[in-house]
Amino acid sequence: MTNVMIVEDQSMPRQLFELLVKSSGRYELLFSIENAAMAEVYCMKHPVDLILMDVCTALGESGLEAAEKIKKEYPAIKIIIVTSMPECSYINRARAAGVESFWYKEFSEETILEVMDRTMAGESVYPDSAPALSLGEASSRDLTDRELEVLRELTSGDTDEVISQRMHLSVWTVRKYIKSMLDKTGFDSRTKLAVVARETGLVIRDY
């Protein structure tokens, strides 16, 4: 039996995962918790084999950050990131953290049990790319990586000066990227651009 820990802050999705794990016959539910930051504590004294880790968890704790720490301390534990957020950077961040698999709750064609089985069989299951989202007249894939980084910071509501300091860029460079995105998407203001980008979940700063 494979010991599974579920990290999910929403009650109903967590219960669905619990049912799936319990009814599978090949997985044992060890813990089911809400806060990703606490996951590391459970791994210290319990033989966790697989973690289903949500990205946005209780108290705003990031599942990606927690996964990175757990993989450093306990590299044998396999982790599947499960999320409904189409944030374009999550896949790359998960790969960089050494996470085995990545599953979109809403967009993936495979069921979570299939992904769990393949992951435990030694496969790394990742979607080809983040879902393409419509952003004004453009698709999210029309934006460059750097533009998406600036867009992510833009949703903070901070001024160009603050954003440029945080990104170690000049103010003019930040403004150039914003203008380029406005040209591509056809939005007439940076606020509209930021609101739509955040509403669609294309860029999320806090996790």
Measured from the CB of residue 98, what is the shortest distance to other proteins in angstroms?
A: 16
CB-nearer residue toward other proteins: 111 or 124: 111
Residue with tokens 């930021």: 194
In angstroms, the CA 59 to CA 92 distance is 24
Measured from the CB of residue 123, what is the shortest distance to other proteins in angstroms?
A: 26
Measured from the CB of residue 73, what is the shortest distance to other proteins in angstroms?
A: 9
Helix (H) or strand (E) holding 128: none
Burial of 111 (0-12, 13-18, 19+ CB in 10 A): exposed
CB-nearer residue toward other proteins: 73 or 137: 73
CB-nearer residue toward other proteins: 46 or 179: 46
CB 31 within 8 A of CB 14: no
* Size of the chain, expressed as the number of residues it contains: 207
Measured from the CB of residue 136, what is the shortest distance to other proteins in angstroms?
A: 17
Residues that bind other proteins (CB under 8 A): 9-13, 15-16, 18-19, 23, 31, 33-35, 37-38, 40-42, 44-46, 56, 58-61, 84-85, 105-106, 155-159, 191, 194-195, 198-199, 201, 204-206
CB-nearer residue toward other proteins: 33 or 50: 33
Burial of 23 (0-12, 13-18, 19+ CB in 10 A): exposed
CB 3 within 8 A of CB 32: no
CB-nearer residue toward other proteins: 123 or 158: 158
Measured from the CB of residue 28, what is the shortest distance to other proteins in angstroms?
A: 15
Sign of the alpha-carbon torsion through 177, 183, 189, 194: negative
